[in-house]
Amino acid sequence: MKKADKKGGPKPTRRKTVVLPDDACPTCGTMMKEARGALRTPVNGEEVSVPAVPHFKCPKCGEQVLAYTQARRFEEDAIALYRKKYGLLSGDDIRAIREHHGLTQAELARLLRLGPNTISRWESGRNVQTAALDVLLRLIRDLPGSLDYLRDHAA
Ligand SMILES: [Zn+2]
């Protein structure tokens, strides 16, 4: 189980994971109830509000906690909303660009000088590319020869 953010902190740090023995509230110990409502989470440093997120809520103190699968879905939904808001390529768009050029995730990551798991996280919706890298991906998609240029200048 995982505590939900009530308000955005100054830094978009990872949320704290709280392991619970059962459905007890981590704050006051009361048994929590299933709930559904809008929750906010930071994406690239910006608060994103996701509607109708299934979670658990403490009837006594109001603490909100997400089960692991709920938290994962919540973060994927937040990233999808963020991508839509800024017109960024979707995970499927990125996969299509990569596969069009016959590249593995690791090969594309190397050409863009990214960590080996970055492309996988973008494609699965667990993380989101910056606007600058979004432009670079569009160049690879739309500008013939750009991939050759990257290969020639690979680290
Ligand atoms: Zn409580």
Taking only the tens of pLDDT, the chain with its 155 residues reads 666 655 444 444 455 555 555 689 989 999 999 999 999 999 988 999 999 999 999 999 999 999 999 999 999 999 999 999 999 999 999 999 999 999 999 999 999 999 999 999 999 999 999 999 999 999 999 999 999 999 998 76
Using the mean position of ligand 1's atoms as its centre, give its distance from the Cα of residue 119 in Å.
Answer: 39
Query: Residue 43 Cα, ligand 1 centroid: separation in angstroms?
Result: 27
Report the separation in Å between the CA atom of 74 and the middle of ligand 1, taken as the mean of its atom positions: 21
Q: How far is the CA of 35 from the centre of ligand 1 (A)?
A: 14
Whether residues 142 and 111 fall in one domain: yes
CATH number of the domain enclosing 114: 1.10.260
Say if CB 43 and CB 32 are below 8 A apart.
no
Same domain, 16 and 65: yes
pLDDT of amino acid 155 = 66
| Residue 77 and residue 20 share a domain | yes
Helix (H) or strand (E) holding 31: none
Distance in Å, CA 110 to ligand 1 centroid: 47
Task: Please check whether residue 64 is in contact with residue 4, taking contact to mean a CB–CB distance below 8 angstroms.
Answer: yes
Signed CA dihedral, 53, 58, 59, 62: sign only: negative
Q: Which domain holds residue 52?
A: 2-86
DSSP summary character for residue 14: P
> What one-letter code names the amino acid at 66?
L
Domain boundary among the residues 33, 62, 86 is at 86
- What pLDDT is stored for residue 44 in this prediction? 87
Contact 64, 57 (CB under 8 A): yes
Q: How far is the CA of 32 from the centre of ligand 1 (A)?
A: 7
For residues 77 and 8, membership in a common domain is answered with yes
Distance (angstroms) between ligand 1 centre and the Cα of 58 equals 5
pLDDT of residue 11: 47
Domain final position from 43, 61, 86? 86
pTM of the model: 0.75
Q: Which two tokens stand for residue 20?
A: 């619970």
Q: Are residues 71 and 7 part of one domain?
A: yes
Do 106 and 143 fall into the same domain? Answer: yes
CATH number at 58 reads 3.10.20.860
Are 110 and 146 found together in one domain? yes
pLDDT of residue 46: 93
Distance linking the first and last C-alpha atoms of the chain: 41
If one counts the domains in the chain, the total is 2
In the listed set 63, 86, 109, which residue is the last one of a domain according to the structure?
Answer: 86
Same domain, 95 and 45: no
Ligand 1 centre from 57 Cα, in Å? 8
In angstroms, the CA 44 to CA 91 distance is 16
pLDDT value at residue 136: 96
